């Protein structure tokens, strides 16, 4: 899945219930990993990597990806 728009990200399924999300700027670079998502019983757990490593839980995979996409948008020049 590739989410397009001003905050472009690439979502790659890496396990039955796991995804890695990268910036689409250089999608194969480890430096562009934005986060990892795991499907849990209660929703989708997002591990945000980067300057402020933290965990969040979302109801849907799309919501977790949208959160990371918003982070990309917030650091891109206007």
Q: Show pLDDT as tens, one digit a residue, over the chain (78 residues).
A: 555 455 678 898 999 999 999 887 665 666 788 999 999 998 999 999 877 789 999 999 999 999 988 877 776 555
Whole-number pLDDT of residue 70: 84
Domain extent at residue 46: 2-75
| Cα dihedral: 10, 13, 63, 53 (round 10) | -80
Q: Alpha-carbon distance 58 to 13, whole Å?
A: 17
pLDDT for residue 77? 52
Please state the pTM of the whole predicted model.
0.80
Q: How many domains are contained in the chain?
A: 1
């Amino acid at each position: 899945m590739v989410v397009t728009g001003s905050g472009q990200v690439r979502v790659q399924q890496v396990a039955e219930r796991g995804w890695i999300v990268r910036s689409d700027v250089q999608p194969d670079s480890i430096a562009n990993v934005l986060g990892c998502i795991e499907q849990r019983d209660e929703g989708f757990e997002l591990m945000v990597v980067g300057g402020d490593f933290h965990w969040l839980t979302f109801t849907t995979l799309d919501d977790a990806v949208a959160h990371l996409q918003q982070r990309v948008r917030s650091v891109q020049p206007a």
